[in-house]
Amino acid sequence: MSAQTARIATVLAILLVATAPYYLAPFTITLFDYIGIYSLVALGLVLLTGVAGMVSFGQAAFMGVAAYATASATALMGVSPWLGLLFALVLTGLVAAILGAVTLRLHGHFLSLSTIAWGLAIYFTFGNFPGLGGFNGIPGVPPISIGSHALLASDEIYYLIWAILIVAMLLSHNLLNSRVGRAMRALRGGKAMVESLGVDAFRIKLVTFVVAALLAALAGWLYAHMSRFVSPTPFDATKGIEFLMMAMVGGSGYLLGAVVGAALITLLKNAVQDYLPLIAPTSAGQMEIVVFSLLFILFLQYAREGIVPFVAHRLPERRRKPPEPAEPLPRRTQPPAGETLLKAEGCVRRFGGLVAVNDVSFELKSGEILGLIGPNGAGKSTMFNLLTGALPATAGRITFAEKDITRAAQRTIAKAGIARTFQHVKLRPKMSLLDNVLLGTYTRTRAGFLAGALTLDREEERRARAEAQRQLERVGLGDKPYELAGNLPLGNQRILEIARALAADPVLLVLDEPAAGLRRPEKLALATLLRSLREEGLTILIVEHDMEFVMGLVDRIVVMEFGAKLTEGVPAVVRADPRVQEAYLGGVA
Ligand code: ADP
Ligand code: MG
């Protein structure tokens, strides 16, 4: 599908939505009002769960916070619904920021479980907080007025709901294709990966969490003024589950999935409510839940990814031109060749009783390739983690470019100019080669959340994209920038990781076992690439088990065994050292 077809489809969809009240019955329009409102909540969940990987059952609670905020401001205190909106957004944003700050350091299931806990807590607060009308709720919520015109009829608020939804979708779309949005999409790659790119993972999580809550807040505001009444029931735990279901059924990785999921579940529910009483006249309400649970289990079995990706994968691919060259992003001043760049002094790392790195010291001069080798279990990866800040050292001192980085956070070290790759490749398989490499430019660009959503970042973005394309070309992957990273063979994934590291304009590139798992021609290609990088003046540290790979490539070698430094020197001397041969033979035996 070309960009033009996509644009035409978008315009057609907007026209269909805009004219719906002219050809649909009022009852159907009411249904569409609900679909629009639920789509907003589901949109937040697409960002939170589908994009950023945090499963939340608590979105209904945020919708409720906003609904109660605006209801109490308007029905009880008599202010206008527009002030109610402001109050609802501020209150929901605050509650989300506090809950997020407390819970977002939890991982995986624990985070999801916590959303159930606070979801329930908020629900019962609505029912028991003095002045909120208990479980009977707050009646008499006024309608939203535009000027002196009150949006009373279902086809009037319809336009407001869908206008808000469409704007929210467009802004989210912009956001996801911006610097902050890419960081959100990268979160699923794990903390080690995003922090190594200079991203503050917690902050990005918190931003995503609050944005998702604010989308739910918009929905809650619309809901309160449309139904003119709030009570705790529409914001209970089953609703929280239902919203998650909507996002998943639609396709939680896709913005459009929110609308498709909300529409499908709402229409299906409506149909079930119509037909179920014919089959089970006495217990239709409870049977509805049973029917939905069964449908959901079937869905999880057969179409887990959701409807939108299912359809999207069957459409012809969008053809796009590679990014145009542009003015380069600002570059670092590289240190003069031969200067001491990195210094490890007496580094120690213990794991309980095990000393994985035992009093290791070495130096790295700028412009050289240094190999850190040793048999399996020698402590190479641990040393690597100390250098990159992935693990704190138990003792010792690490200096980089005359700055002490011993206790520095990973992202601080990344910003200082050390770019790394991973022993087990950490890429985002569902992101394009270009987007993966763009992640590397994070520390060299500045556009924030709002700039991304409002497309104020386009000039910088153009330069960043040109830079990413240039790095792809530099490593020999420039011909298919929009291919998904997951489709590459392992050798090329390693090389893509190097391109991502290079996009950060590093002073030092550190590679953990880059040759592991590669076939011989892939190893040769990698060695050629690393040599050409050295010729361009880059300093490289390679941690490697494969002695042959290292020998022909590096300027100097440091050998580790049992956590300690065995020896160091130029490759020929190290290779001839009987202790090194014994360590390697011993390691194999
Ligand atoms: P290498 O990369 O040279 O193969 P590692 O640095 O991975 O070696 O491991 C060195 C030693 O430290 C091994 O004995 C390993 O089992 C141990 N080790 C590594 N990481 C941890 C950890 N997180 N917890 C406990 N022990 C670890
Ligand atoms: Mg290792």
Write out pLDDT tens, residues 482-503.
Answer: 999 999 999 899 999 999 999 9
CATH number of residue 271's parent domain: 1.10.3470
* Nearest ligand atom owner, CA of 512: 2
Per-residue 3-state assignment (H helix, E strand, C coil) for 484-522: EHHHCCHHHHHHHHHHHHHCCCCCEEEEECCCCCCCHHH
Q: Are residues 136 and 248 in the same domain?
A: yes
Over the stretch 87-140, which tens digit does the pLDDT of each residue have? 999 999 999 999 999 999 888 889 999 999 999 999 999 999 998 999 999 999
* Best of 355, 357, 360, 382 for a ligand 1 pocket test (most atoms within 8 Å of beta carbon): 382
Task: Name the pLDDT band for 147 (thresholds 50, 70, 90).
Answer: confident
Q: pTM of the full predicted structure?
A: 0.92
Q: What is the pLDDT of residue 587?
A: 47
- Interhelix angle 179-186/201-227, rounded to 10 degrees, is 100
In a domain, 422, yes or no: no
Instruction: Say how far apart CA 138 and CA 131 lie, in whole Å.
Output: 9
What domain range is 49 assigned to? 20-312
Nearest atom in ligand 1 to the alpha carbon of residue 378 is 3
Task: Name the pLDDT band for 589 (thresholds 50, 70, 90).
Answer: very low
Please tell me if the CB atom of residue 70 comes closer than 6 angstroms to any atom of ligand 1. Answer: no
Instruction: Say how far apart CA 327 and CA 315 lie, in whole Å.
Output: 35
Whether 419 has a pLDDT exceeding 70, the answer reads yes
Quick count: other Cβ atoms within 10 Å of Cβ 165? 25
For residues 561-565, give the mean pLDDT: 93
Please tell me if the CB atom of residue 387 comes closer than 6 angstroms to any atom of ligand 1. Answer: no
The pair of structure tokens assigned to 221 is 């505001």
In a domain, 4, yes or no: no
In a domain, 574, yes or no: yes
Contact 101, 206 (CB under 8 A): yes
Whether 243 has a pLDDT exceeding 80, the answer reads yes
Q: Are residues 135 and 208 in the same domain?
A: yes
The closest alpha carbon to 361, from 416, 399, 405, 412, belongs to 399
The pair of structure tokens assigned to 53 is 């990987």
3-state secondary structure of 547: helix
Over the stretch 44-78, which tens digit does the pLDDT of each residue have? 999 999 999 999 999 999 999 999 999 999 999 99
Contact 399, 184 (CB under 8 A): no
Task: Report CA(372)–ligand 2 centroid distance (Å).
Answer: 11
Q: Which residues contact 286 (CB under 8 A, 6 or more apart)?
A: none
In a domain, 425, yes or no: no
Domain count, the chain: 3
The closest alpha carbon to 362, from 373, 375, 352, belongs to 373
Of 446, 478, 505, the residue at which a domain comes to its end is 505
Terminal-to-terminal C-alpha distance of the chain: 57
The pair of structure tokens assigned to 111 is 């985070």
Please tell me if the CB atom of residue 382 comes closer than 6 angstroms to any atom of ligand 1. Answer: yes
Q: Are residues 386 and 495 in the same domain?
A: no
Q: Are residues 407 and 487 in the same domain?
A: no
Of 464, 483, 505, the residue at which a domain comes to its end is 505
Contact 411, 199 (CB under 8 A): yes
Integer CA distances (angstroms), 277 to 242, 267, 274, 296, in order: 21, 16, 7, 21
Of 449, 481, 505, the residue at which a domain comes to its end is 505
Task: Report CA(423)–ligand 2 centroid distance (Å).
Answer: 7
In a domain, 459, yes or no: yes
Q: Are residues 526 and 381 in the same domain?
A: yes
Q: Could you give the residue ranges of the DSSP H alpha helices within 199-346?
A: 201-227, 237-250, 255-279, 284-302, 307-312
- Interhelix angle 59-71/201-227, rounded to 10 degrees, is 50
Contact 498, 475 (CB under 8 A): yes
Q: Are residues 295 and 214 in the same domain?
A: yes
Please tell me if the CB atom of residue 376 comes closer than 6 angstroms to any atom of ligand 1. Answer: yes
Nearest atom in ligand 1 to the alpha carbon of residue 382 is 6
CATH number of residue 585's parent domain: 3.40.50.300
Instruction: Say how far apart CA 416 and CA 506 lie, in whole Å.
Output: 8
Q: Are residues 271 and 130 in the same domain?
A: yes
Q: Which residues contact 521 (CB under 8 A, 6 or more apart)?
A: none
3-state secondary structure of 448: coil
Q: Are residues 64 and 209 in the same domain?
A: yes
The closest alpha carbon to 517, from 489, 538, 497, belongs to 489
Task: Name the pLDDT band for 6 (thresholds 50, 70, 90).
Answer: confident
Task: Report CA(543)–ligand 2 centroid distance (Å).
Answer: 8
* Nearest ligand atom owner, CA of 560: 1
Residue 512: beta bridge partners?
543
Q: What is the pLDDT of residue 575?
A: 87
Residue identifier of the C-alpha nearest atom 6 of ligand 1: 379
Per-residue 3-state assignment (H helix, E strand, C coil) for 88-136: HHHHHHHHHHHHHHHHCCCCHHHHHHHHHHHHHHHHHHHHHCCCCCHHH
Nearest atom in ligand 1 to the alpha carbon of residue 383 is 6
Q: Is the dihedral of CA 148, 152, 154, 158 positive or negative?
A: positive
Quick count: other Cβ atoms within 10 Å of Cβ 15? 10
Considering just the CA atoms, what is the radius of gyration of the chain in Å? 28
The pair of structure tokens assigned to 49 is 């769960």
Q: Are residues 307 and 170 in the same domain?
A: yes
Q: Are residues 371 and 453 in the same domain?
A: no
Task: Report CA(544)–ligand 2 centroid distance (Å).
Answer: 8
